[in-house]
C-alpha cells in the first residue's frame, strides 16, 4: 500500500510539472511521505485538518520537536 501510494504521488507531482526532486525535512528529519499522508487522513483529511487547525497534531504525530514555533505552518507547507 505504501509503495503504491509513493508511486502514485511521484507520478501525480510529475504530471502537474512539480516533481518531487528531494524529500523535504521537518527540523532535521526527512519527512516520511507515507506517514504524513496517513496522519492527515487519520485526522479527517486536508480540509478538516486545515479548518480545525490540526497541523501541529500532524507534526507531533511525525515525532517533531515539541519546542518548534513554526511546526504547524511548516508541516502544512510540506504537505501541500
Q: Is 49 exposed, middle or buried (0-12, 13-18, 19+ CB in 10 A)?
A: buried
Question: Tens digit of pLDDT for each residue in 26-66?
Answer: 877 889 999 999 999 999 999 999 999 999 999 998 887 77
Answer yes or no: CATH 1.10.150.20 is held by domain 1-79.
no
DSSP 16-40: TT----S--EETTEE--HHHHHHHH
- In the predicted structure, residue 76 carries a pLDDT above the cut 90: yes
- pLDDT for residue 65: 76
CA dihedral 71, 18, 40, 31 (to 10 degrees): -50
Amino acid at each position: 500500500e505504501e509503495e503504491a501510494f509513493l508511486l502514485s504521488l511521484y507520478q501525480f507531482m510529475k504530471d502537474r510539472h512539480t516533481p518531487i526532486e528531494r524529500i523535504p525535512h521537518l527540523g532535521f528529519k526527512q519527512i516520511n511521505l507515507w506517514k504524513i499522508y496517513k496522519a492527515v487522513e487519520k485526522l479527517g483529511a486536508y480540509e478538516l485538518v486545515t479548518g480545525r487547525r490540526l497541523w501541529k497534531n500532524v507534526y507531533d504525530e511525525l515525532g517533531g520537536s515539541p519546542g518548534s514555533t513554526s511546526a504547524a505552518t511548516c508541516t502544512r507547507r510540506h504537505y501541500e
